[in-house]
Structure 1
């Protein structure tokens, strides 16, 4: 089994193919089989969480790379300024160019950082939604199973009481 969603599909198949309890609209299921699938789902959840951690790590790597590139550009600009230490028109233009390069580097760094954050947020949002959907589906399925089993127990109890009433007559 590869994913939580596949395990949930297996649970649905089990419920769909289970024997019906006459006159109740309920089905009988193999408790051990469903519990085994639920255990598998619980074991798979950490993998989904690991994937989201990987996305965060990748985002951090992208941010670090963007910062390094910005520092490199700024260092390059500083070196360029140091070479043009002359007080004439060339020096003035050099300072202007250096400022433009620095501003450009800052803007590029900012854009790269924002892009990386947006990308990481989008991936994390997808992972979060998948986990929420899986959790909701698990909750719904287990709630339905619990209700079904409770009604089956009540029916059995009523039938036993009815049988006891018939034997006392």
Structure 2
């Protein structure tokens, strides 16, 4: 492959270049090496370029998927919180309904007891009046009998 030849050429340039004593550095022709690097890039197979594009695309897709997943998780959390809030509202409504029913039953019981006491009181008043009326009738009957007996005795 031509790429390997170009890499060999770069290596040969580096090995044959002048070195700077005690610095561990080498003087090279920058433009000559850049030209070789450019040729290497142009000779790289399209598959390598595609692989790089695929790698970048993969990263973009993963980032997008992560973003979508984060959004979905937030939406689900909000939905769950709403459901919990609604459940709490329903629970409170049930408690309030039970309180209202309990109070209504208690009021109904008090009203029944009150109406029974009132009916008992009215019946006692009626009984007392009837007894009084009965006593009055008895007195009247006695007076009528006494008058009748008196009239019979006059004859």
Calculate the TM-score normalised by the size of structure 2: 0.44
**Structure with max Cα Rg:** 2
Greater RCO, CA 8 A, separation 6+: 1
